[in-house]
Amino acid sequence: MANQLDQLKQFTTVVADTGDFEAMREYQPQDATTNPSLILKASQQEQYADLVDKAIRDSINVESAIDQVLIAFGKEILEIVPGRVSTEVDARLSFDEAGTIAKAHQLIALYEDAGIDRERILIKIASTWEGIEAASKLEDEGIHCNLTLMFSLAQAVACAEAGVKLISPFVGRIYDWYKKETGNEYTGADDPGVQSVQEIYSYYRKFGYETEVMGASFRNTGQILELAGCDLLTISPGLLEELQNSDEPVEKKLDAEAAANADIEKIDLDEKTFRYLLNEDAMATEKTAQGIRAFAADIVKMEELIAEKLG
């Protein structure tokens, strides 16, 4: 029998959640995602030192140097994967619509200057109201976006209404919050993170949204297997290895036709309703804020690393 990774690829587009090129070559994902934490980690590894040094050689300041590093990693990744790479804007712009748009324009321009078609790029933006508004305008320009740090149906609905290309609900971080709050272990279909993605997937199929759903931030292979059939799943190298080393059968759990017939009420969402629903969801409020802080902190660390290299 085929291993679990190969079986999963029959139902779902597999994406590598890493900045490690060798892992991508080994597991042959369709797409790859990065974030500030992953790029920071890779930038500090000896095998990528030449890539970083070359990227920043002609930079005039730290901000432009970081952009060059992001693009350098993105270009290398696109030499390996046949599909798309996600490149994240500075998390400190999460509440700055104009700033997010400007940074996305800069990143896309750098990719296009390097001969990379914008269709192969997803600009990652936090799922704040300002981030979603920025993404809507970018999508109108043909710049596709991946809305990240997503923890609630309200965020997902706002993204779909905005015409966002792809969203990344964070399964593992939702699981972490509920485990800490309740002291319970969650497995299989009882996992709140899994349930969140199932709810979003069903809502999208029910109401005909084209936004792609990509489950992210997994803690174990059980969460991944419960979402077999989701549009995409972005998976870390360690979990990709576990899936590759198992030949247990994989069953398709999410089905578009069944989801389209689900009994779901449509949500009418404007900015006030979005902010209220997000505020009512303690988990989503806390995890979104926590994620933005963590990614912002890693950008600061990268700035320090680059500033040292620039002298």
| Helix or strand run (H / E) with residue 39 | helix 36-43
Tokens of 21: 């090129």
Distance of alpha carbon 254 from alpha carbon 205, whole angstroms: 11
Distance of alpha carbon 167 from alpha carbon 153, whole angstroms: 11
Distance of alpha carbon 55 from alpha carbon 68, whole angstroms: 5
Helix axes 282-310, 153-161, angle to 10 degrees: 70
Establish whether 41 is a catalytic residue: no
Of 124, 165, 253, 287, which residue is the catalytic one? 124
Q: How far is CA 240 from CA 15, 25, 64, 253, in A?
A: 10, 12, 33, 19
For residues 39 and 76, the answer to whether their CB atoms sit within 8 Å is no
Q: CA nearest 239: which of 11, 1, 4? A: 4
Q: Give the angle 159-96-164 at the CA atoms, nearest 5°.
A: 20
Q: How far is CA 275 from CA 100, 128, 129, 279, in A?
A: 19, 9, 8, 6
Distance of alpha carbon 215 from alpha carbon 176, whole angstroms: 15
Distance of alpha carbon 244 from alpha carbon 232, whole angstroms: 17
Q: Where are the beta strands (DSSP E) in the chain?
A: 13-17, 31-33, 85-88, 121-126, 145-150, 166-169, 212-215, 232-235
For residues 114 and 75, the answer to whether their CB atoms sit within 8 Å is yes
Catalytic residues: 124
